[in-house]
Amino acid sequence: VTDAIDEFSYYVPPAQMAAYKSFSDVEDNGVGLIVTKRFGYAFVIAPVAGSPAAKSGIERGDFIEKIDGQPTQKMAVWQVRNLLRSGKPMHVQVLRGGQTKRDDSRSSRPRFTPSPSPRSSLAAWHTSAFRTSRKGPQRSWPPHSKTFARAALAS
- Biggest distance spanned by C-alpha atoms of the chain: 55
Q: Is 74 in the site for other proteins (CB under 8 A)?
A: no
Q: Are strands 33-38 and 111-112 parallel, antiparallel or unpaired?
A: unpaired
Q: Per CB under 8 A, which region of 39-47, 63-71, 82-90, 120-128 contacts other proteins?
A: 39-47
* Stretch (H or E) spanning 78: helix 77-84
Pairing of strands 90-95, 70-71: unpaired
52 binds other proteins per the rule CB under 8 A:
no
**Residue from 103, 117, 141, 155 binding other proteins (CB under 8 A):** 141
Q: Is 3 in the site for other proteins (CB under 8 A)?
A: no
- The SS3 assignment for 34 reads strand
Q: Applying CB under 8 A, which residues contact other proteins?
A: 2, 5-17, 20, 25, 27-28, 34, 36, 45-49, 57, 59-61, 78, 96, 105-107, 136-137, 139-146, 149-150, 153
